[in-house]
Amino acid sequence: MYFERSSYLFLIGILLVLIVAWLLNQSRQIKISALLGERRLVKKLAISSPLPIQIAKFSLFLLGVLFMIIGLAKPYILGVNEHSRNMSPTDVVFVIDVSKSMYVKDVAPDRISRARHLVQDIIGQLSSEQVGIVLFSGKANTYMPLTDDYYYVKKSVDAISGDLVLQKGTSLKEALRISSLIYGSDVKKTKVMCLISDGEFHDSDAVTVADSIRKSGIKLFCFGMGTIDGAEVPASYSPVEEEFERDKNNNSPIISHMHPEELARIAGNKPNTYFQTVDKLNAASLFADQLRTLEFSEVTTTPKPYYSLFLLIALVFLIAEACIPQVVKPYKVNEL
């Protein structure tokens, strides 16, 4: 439970003041009765409610004030509702690394070919989702805007290569930002981003950008291409980038490794958001299962207002207090 106007709760201190005032008044009445004469006779002559009735009336009044204060503070209770629903087609944007390290052959036939196969496998399990593609290396380009023409998408995926991005390097931060702009303005859609890379990038701000993307409501998944042991960068592709330059002293080959910890950080270190793609078919199926979960199952936490209930209870207590008469039975002289 939380209160929209929590400052009103300080008014509960008024109850303590009322209790003290009531006790002082009772003490004052006892002293006055003692001054008037014998306590038993004064009690017989007094035209007032017995003490139990007074306590009951005062208690009902205090409860009414208490619930009124709580109602004025506008209490809300968080209720968790889990339900299924059919949503508008999901938007899925593939962010594919086409840098030179993606040509390493530690997975057959090489990382970039495996990335193309993975995208094809995932698309084969889609039905009504719209698909977009962003390619990145030293810069990022929108390769394909959102479309549900899967035949066209598959043909376009077959043509993906590093030649489509002229500037060499790995600018993941730019790729994430461009990808986040592809989605439409329909807030009812589920927005999914799939980063496919070997994790070999040196962009210190990428994790911060990824965190902002997730906070905006976009579901971010990562797929690791390659192996941790890695393999040699093909000679035809090096030296081209600083991280792949050969040692000029001994001309030793450069080994490119897959970095799962970097990809897991981009995915937010959350379960079921990072997939190892040595077994590409398994990764595609696992992702498709996650996508169906996002589309057809939703867990919502909805705050429910309860201030009207507290005000109603306060009203009941105050009415009950008013219905109890101040004098139950006036005493007669002949009863003395």
Q: Which two tokens stand for residue 218?
A: 């976009």
pLDDT tens profile 180-225: 999 977 777 889 999 999 998 877 789 999 999 999 889 999 999 9
The CATH code belonging to domain 85-300 is: 3.40.50.410
Q: What was the pLDDT predicted at 274?
A: 93
Q: Are 72 and 5 in contact (CB under 8 A)?
A: yes
Q: What was the pLDDT predicted at 242?
A: 41
CA distance 92 to 127: 12
- Say whether 326 sits in a helix, a strand or coil: coil
Domain residue extents for the chain: 2-79+306-335, 85-300
- Say whether 243 sits in a helix, a strand or coil: helix
Q: Are 275 and 286 in contact (CB under 8 A)?
A: yes
Q: What was the pLDDT predicted at 214?
A: 92
User: Which residues of the chain fall short of a pLDDT of 70?
Assistant: 32-49, 78-88, 235-251, 278-281, 295-302, 327-336
Q: Which two tokens stand for residue 63?
A: 């409860």
Per the prediction, the chain carries an average pLDDT of 82
Q: What was the pLDDT predicted at 253?
A: 78
**Number of C-beta neighbours around residue 95 at 10 A:** 27
Confidence (pTM): 0.60
